[in-house]
Amino acid sequence: MNAKKVAIIGYNRTPFVRYNTVFSDATNQDLLLSALQGLINKYHLQGKLLGEVAGGAVIKHISESNLIRETVMKTNLDPATPGCDLQQACDTGIEAAIYIANKIALGQIECGIACGVEAMSNIPFESSLKLRKALLNANKEKSTFGKIKQFLKPSIKDWFPIPYKGQEPETGLVMGEHTELTAKYYQISRQEQDALSFKSHQKLAKAYDEGFYEDMISPYLNVKEDNNLRRDTSMEKLATLKPAFDKKDGTLTAGNSTPFTDGASAVLLASEEWAITNGLPILAYITHAELAGIEYVQNRQNLLLAPVFAADRMLKKADIKLEDFDYYEIHEAFAAQILATLKIWETKELALQFGLQDALGKVDHEKLNVKGGSLATAHPFAATGGRIIATLAKLLNEKGSGKGFISICAARGQGVTMIIEK
């Protein structure tokens, strides 16, 4: 059978905001519902039965095991529209798009929504193992005395909640600590990192001033703009920030790293036939995608460098060179991470260390994250993929032709790349 072409039809997201600020009381469902309903309203999907809605959140409460389906039922889509939860750390949003795109390509569905959300202000706390066991055992006890006896077994310390730290289970290091190793190993300077962050904020501010994001964001709680944007930042201000992970001689700071973020995004995908029948525009097409993993326990500096492999495989399959793209949207989890990835792609010696046959090529920085990247917009883990796909699809649609390259790194040593064409 011939695979159907997969079209990007529309997009919507909430503003992305630093956690514990203006969205501090919002849940995953609150934010996702806002993004989905905004998309539905924008493209007149009220009452329509879609093939499927897929997406997820990296961090969910136990009660959110069916987050997507539950949220879909609160929208005014046909309530028979199925929903699927999936999670792949920071790749979640784009992996959801691949999942929906593959079903469209195979003819299993005609249309679907890929989405992602993160309410970092409302992440669940863990409890100690001793406390959990005591509570479970107390539930089995029939007498009040028996229950009290179980409650007294945990120490006072065991009763304290354990906050989320985001550590990699295999190494015990948080992502920023791994990226400090990346910066040192690949010799990425503090000045280079600050310069990339500064440009990201400048580009985002300019994009807002030009109205680029006007049709891409639905206001939520009267917030209309990403509040991580620092219009008044400068290289001088960034230089004053203290290291965030390696206090002694680190180069990663709050200024060149993404903060915990609240936000949600959604992207509408469909076959050409469905788009035409429903009178909706075709912005661009998803043509290739590749997922990769990388060993990062022995080589701890490589946690966020799996896109090195994903890009190599994808470009070979597509028979396209890295220099052949009109736009590049590369996730800026940390300035050091994206700079290291670019350095490996363009340096033969480093590429060979990864087992690549040759350097992939040099990315033109004038075409990179031209409307601002994650360092400026911030990074709600599962929602970043949708933001990036939407931005690139709009850029290609406005240009009227061309190719766009996407790269996103993720925790647990994974990464994904994608090609979008007009």
- Decide: pTM greater than 0.85: yes
Per-residue pLDDT, 149: 87
Q: Residue 171 pLDDT > 80, yes or no?
A: yes
Distance CA 371, CA 208 (A): 9
Digit-coded pLDDT (tens) for 100-125: 999 999 999 999 999 999 999 998 88
**Predicted local distance difference test score (pLDDT) of residue 338:** 98
Q: What is the pLDDT of residues 403-417, one digit of tens each?
A: 999 999 999 999 999
Band of the pLDDT at 195, cuts 50, 70, 90?
very high
> What pLDDT band is residue 165 in, cutting at 50, 70 and 90?
confident
Question: Residue 203 corresponds to which amino acid?
Answer: K
pLDDT at 295 over 90: yes
Q: What's the pLDDT score for residue 152?
A: 87
User: Is residue 15's pLDDT more than 90?
Assistant: yes
Q: Is 44 marked active-site?
A: no
Told to judge if 111 belongs to the known catalytic residues of this protein, a careful annotator would answer no
Q: What is the pLDDT of residue 2?
A: 83
Of 84, 90, 111, 115, which one is the catalytic site residue? 90
User: Is residue 151 over pLDDT 90?
Assistant: no
| Of 84, 111, 115, 409, catalytic | 409
Residue 224 has pLDDT above 80, yes or no: yes
Of the residues 178, 201, 331, 379, only one is catalytic, namely 379
Which domains, ranges and CATH numbers included, belong to the chain? 175-213+287-417 (3.40.47.10)
What integer pLDDT is reported at residue 189 of this predicted model?
A: 97
% the chain with pLDDT above 70: 100
Mean pLDDT, rounded, of the chain:
96
pLDDT tens track for 253-277: 999 999 999 999 999 999 999 999 9
Catalytic-residue membership of 84: no
pLDDT at 154 over 90: no
pLDDT digits (tens, 9 = 90+) for 28-81: 999 999 999 999 999 999 999 999 999 999 999 989 999 999 999 999 999 999
Does the pLDDT at position 222 exceed 80?
A: yes
